């Protein structure tokens, strides 16, 4: 019982400090937002980033800031994957063609 006298006010302050206004102070990860801006086509940038930021705010309220930021980075990775795979495919293709051409040149 005596623990509640000393610890109780601390927990009450801590519990009351988590209000909805605290979730509005948390901003989306700026680096992640910039990467979205880079990867998305010009005509889709503003709408996609706005939608992602709205979902980010909902994720903060539901799951907390840490998980919301992880989710945001996941969205960036999913958006960037087509571009990364395209570049990788092109590099692999040209690397393969270049090595095949070198092989042909040496053997013919």
pLDDT tens, position by position, 58-101: 999 999 999 999 999 999 999 888 888 887 777 777 777 777 77
| Residue written as token pair 């086509």 | 41
CA neighbours within 13 Å on the CB side: how many for 103? Answer: 6
* pTM of full prediction above 0.95: no
Query: pLDDT by residue (tens digit) across 11-46?
Result: 455 454 454 545 557 888 999 999 988 888 899 889
- Does residue 54 surpass a pLDDT of 50? yes
Q: In whole angstroms, what is the distance from residue 108 CA to residue 105 CA? A: 6
Q: How far is CA 105 from the centre of its chain?
A: 46
Contact 79, 36 (CB under 8 A): yes
Q: In whole angstroms, what is the distance from residue 92 CA to residue 28 CA? A: 35
């Amino acid at each position: 019982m005596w623990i509640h006298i000393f610890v109780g006010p601390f927990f009450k302050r801590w519990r009351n400090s988590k209000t909805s206004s605290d979730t509005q102070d948390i901003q989306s990860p700026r680096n992640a937002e910039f990467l979205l801006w880079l990867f998305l086509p010009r005509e889709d940038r503003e709408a996609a980033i706005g939608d992602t930021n709205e979902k980010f705010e909902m994720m903060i309220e539901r799951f907390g800031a840490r998980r919301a930021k992880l989710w945001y980075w996941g969205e960036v990775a999913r958006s960037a994957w087509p571009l990364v795979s395209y570049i990788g495919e092109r590099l692999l293709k040209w690397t393969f063609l270049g090595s095949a051409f070198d092989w042909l040149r040496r053997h013919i």
